[in-house]
Amino acid sequence: MIAIVDYGMGNLRSVQKAFEKIGAKAVVTSDAGEVQQAEKVVLPGVGAFGACMENLEKFGLAPTIRRVIDDKKPFLGICMGMQVLFDESEEFGKHKGLGIIPGKVIRFKLAKQYKIPHMGWNRIHKKRRHPVLAEIDENAYFYFVHSYHVVPKDSQVIATTTDYGREFVSSIALDNIFACQFHPEKSQGLGLKMLKAFANL
């Protein structure tokens, strides 16, 4: 069973529906015990970094996420669910993240012709092999909506990059963690392929 972590932010039903489409059982839950017992865990999210962290702490889910990752269960972070894995974000002041991946989250600094947020379809460029990306071709298009991006301290965790006025990290992988800035649940067939690969880990 896959647990989709509900901390009061984001359209979690769209993630659940995407898993249902590929025949994977996924439940949306804010129950820390249920998250802990799941075989795999997905942390989606939209909204402001500080509010996301506040809700994760309020629901008692922050320590659960750390425990799940320590237990080496397959873990997928999507959009804000990737960003909160890092040490801190500069969104609306400095906010501490979960501190699982060393690094920070910064706002795009781009030439005027590039709109912020970065919104719409863009290509990903593979930097390393990973089972979640096994059936995804180089330069495949995925759907993005974000104004901030991650800057890992260790470049070895970078799974893909994307170009939008500059190169930025669009997904990371470390041990049992795979996390992406783009939205696989909104990325049609390729996104479903990715989710199926995760479900089959």
| DSSP-based three-state secondary structure for 139 | coil
Catalytic-labelled residue, pool 52, 79, 95, 149? 79
Those residues whose C-beta lies under 8 Å from the C-beta of residue 200, and which sit 6 or more positions away, are: none
**CA distance readout (Å), 168 to 35, 39, 95, 110, 143:** 31, 31, 21, 11, 15
Question: Do β-strands 95-96 and 75-78 pair in parallel, antiparallel, or remain unpaired?
Answer: unpaired
Q: Are 125 and 138 in contact (CB under 8 A)?
A: yes
Instruction: Count Cβ atoms below 10 Å from residue 129 Cβ, excluding itself.
Output: 9
Q: Provide φ and ψ at 115, rounded to 5°.
A: -80, 145
Catalytic-labelled residue, pool 52, 146, 180, 185? 185
Catalytic-labelled residue, pool 95, 118, 149, 183? 183
183 is catalytic: yes
88 is catalytic: no
Q: Are 142 and 184 in contact (CB under 8 A)?
A: yes
76 - beta bridge partners? Answer: 42, 178
180 is catalytic: no
Return the exposure string of 77-86: e unless at least 16 CB atoms fall within 10 Å of the residue's CB, then b: bbbbbbbbbb
Q: Residue for token digits 């930097």?
A: 127
**Residues with catalytic function:** 79, 183, 185
